[in-house]
Amino acid sequence: MTQVFLYGGYKKPREATWMVGVVLLLVVLAFGLTGYLLPWDNRAYWGTVVSTQIMGSAPLLGSYLKRLLGSDGSVGVVTFARFYALHVLILPQAIISLIVFHIFLVRKHGVAPAPNESGPTKKFFPEQVMKDTIAVFTGFVILYTMAMFVEVPLGRLADPTDLTYVPRPDWYFLFLFQTLKFFKGSLEPVGSILLPNLAVLALFLAPFLDRGKLKKVTQRTTAIGVVTLAAISWGALTLAAIKTTPPSAEEQASTQQPALPQPSGVKQFSPQELAGLGYFRQEKCQACHNLDGGAPNTGPNLATASVHKNAAWMIKYFKNPNQVVPGSNMSPIQLSDANLNALAAFLLKLTPDNASDVASVPDNVVRGAQIYEAQGCGNCHMVNGVGAKLGPPLNGLSLRRDQQWVTKHFANPSAMSPGSIMPPTELPPVQMRELVDYLFSLPGS
């Protein structure tokens, strides 16, 4: 394209050839965009979240485009299916028809002759066809060899809950990404929609904007200027974007070995026990009670089996330590009966092996378990084998649902699962988030 542009090869009567060429470029970019999602790793997922959001912000067409791409609500299985269909069914057909049309036009109008060109005209067949075939074949061999021998590992499986992931588009879109940074807030559509569309429009209309007579390349100073400027801006923007790219989570993980193990506590404890763990933290019981074999503390080590009394004893004791153990140093614990129950259940489950979880399970997850308990979800659901079977067991929820679905489902279960008997759950956003965090941290069985 650059060559045709430099030579002014788009001029009359070859305007249509040029315009079909511009459409071909857009189709190639569409291949890149749709193909980007298909590896379904974190990079693919978050890249696509960003690009579909940009499309969604387009005036008038935005919400329609989002629906068409199956990405209103969130990027999920529907988006994947649509992108896949576009990538392997629709775009290939589009590109083949366009190439045929393009070649037809090239054959009809010929390639632009250099001004004052004399000498014999070159033949399309077999000379040009042979050259093209060799070029395409060489490209194919290079790609094939790279696919065989260059390792490009997948990232982590797409994780919609990973809010720390910094999405980046592929290198050829990086300049656009960098441009976006100049337009903050309400100006964003200028960078994301207006400028790119204007650029495409300008490309399209090039034959009509530049109507002068055919000149030698060396005399086409404006064209040379435009190409140079475009190349410099593209290069500079891409370079700036690469420089500000933080190392990906995967790269960080590989430099900070060994990776932290996933806290096992979420798997070991029932929701009630995990909620109890929360109260244990909240009431700062560790100020007096060791859980590991450190220096003896004021109170006994609660992780060792020998101190485990039954729950009824503990609850009575928590409410009034002095009455149960005369002269006790411990002050009464101000918690509801249900919460004291949870605390007792947690202490009964506590062993020297799982004591480290008291520190390692994230706070939001623990609070989520407390909300789960308070809402009585266990009356219908099972987690880690504890609970009832009126609803589906919730282990491995993150493997089958995304966050958006779950939140919508809470607001109105029967809208998402027709005929559901689950009552709607209303919670402030922060607590809703914690509940979902907890559910999504549950390992598959």
Which of 223, 355, 377, 442 binds ligand HEC (CB under 6 A)? It is 377
Q: In this chain, which of 43, 66, 87, 381 binds ligand HEC, going by CB under 6 A?
A: 381
Interhelix angle 77-85/42-56, nearest 10 degrees? 80
When the beta carbons of 343 and 361 are compared against ligand HEC, the nearer one is 343
Q: Which of 2, 97, 323, 329 binds ligand HEC (CB under 6 A)?
A: 329
CB of 42: closest distance to ligand HEC in angstroms?
23
- Nearest Cα residue to 386 out of 269, 274, 276, 270: 270
Q: What angle do CA 364, 370, 375 make, to 5 degrees?
A: 125
Phi-psi region of 385 (alpha: psi -120 to 50; beta: other; left: phi over 0): left
The answer to the question of residue 283 lying near ligand HEC (CB under 6 A) is yes
* Binding of residue 321 to ligand HEC (CB under 6 A): yes
Binding of residue 350 to ligand HEC (CB under 6 A)? no
The answer to whether 420 contacts ligand HEC (rule: CB under 6 A) is yes
Single out the segment in contact with ligand HEC by CB under 6 A; choices: 56-64, 252-260, 262-270, 300-308.
300-308
State the minimum distance, in angstroms, from the CB of residue 308 to ligand HEC: 7
Spatial CB neighbours of 259, under 8 Å, sequence gap ≥ 6: 253
Burial tier of 349 (Cβ tally within 10 Å: 0-12, 13-18, 19+): middle
Give the max Cα distance, the chain. 115
Measure Cα distances from 398 to 201, 350, 439 in Å: 43, 27, 8
Residues 6+ apart with CB under 8 A from 156: 41, 42, 162, 249, 250
Sign of the torsion formed by the C-alpha atoms of 252, 254, 256 and 259: positive
Cα gap 248→166, rounded to integer Å: 8
Per CB under 6 A, which of residues 252..281 are in contact with ligand HEC? 280
CB 409 to ligand HEC: min, Å? 6
Q: What is the total count of residues that contact ligand HEC (CB under 6 A)? A: 46
Q: Between 170 and 283, name the residue whose CB sits nearer to ligand HEC.
A: 283
Which one of the spans 35-43, 59-67, 115-123, 422-430 is the region binding ligand HEC (CB under 6 A)?
422-430
The residue among 191 and 413 lying less far from ligand HEC, judged by its C-beta, is: 413
According to the binding rule CB under 6 A, does residue 285 interact with ligand HEC?
Answer: yes
Tokens of 18: 């040029």
Between the alpha carbon of residue 182 and those of residues 14, 50, 169, 177, the distances in Å are 37, 17, 17, 10
CB of 332 to ligand HEC, least distance (A): 10
| Binding positions for ligand HEC, 353-372, rule CB under 6 A | 372
Q: Which is nearer to ligand HEC, 13 or 423 (CB)?
A: 423
Binding window for ligand HEC (CB under 6 A); candidates: 78-86, 89-97, 194-202, 325-333: 325-333
Least Å distance between CB 344 and ligand HEC?
Answer: 8
Q: Does 62 bind ligand HEC (CB under 6 A)?
A: no
How far is the C-alpha of 186 from the C-alpha of 140, rounded, in Å?
A: 44
Rounded least distance, CB 134 to ligand HEC, Å: 55
| Binding residue for ligand HEC, selected from 53, 304, 404, 417, defined by CB under 6 A | 417
Smallest gap from residue 400 Cβ to ligand HEC (A): 6
- In terms of Cβ atoms closer than 10 Å to its own Cβ (0-12, 13-18, 19+), residue 94 is middle
* By CB under 6 A, residue 320 contacts ligand HEC: no
**Pattern 394-413, ligand HEC, x by CB under 6 A:** x--x--xx----x--x---x
Nearer to ligand HEC (CB atom), residue 83 or residue 372: 372
Q: Which amino acid is at 24?
A: L
For ligand HEC, the binding residues (CB under 6 A) are 280, 283, 285, 287-289, 298-300, 302, 307, 309, 314, 321, 325, 328-330, 333, 343, 347, 372, 375-377, 379-381, 390-392, 394, 397, 400-401, 406, 409, 413, 417, 420-423, 425, 435, 439
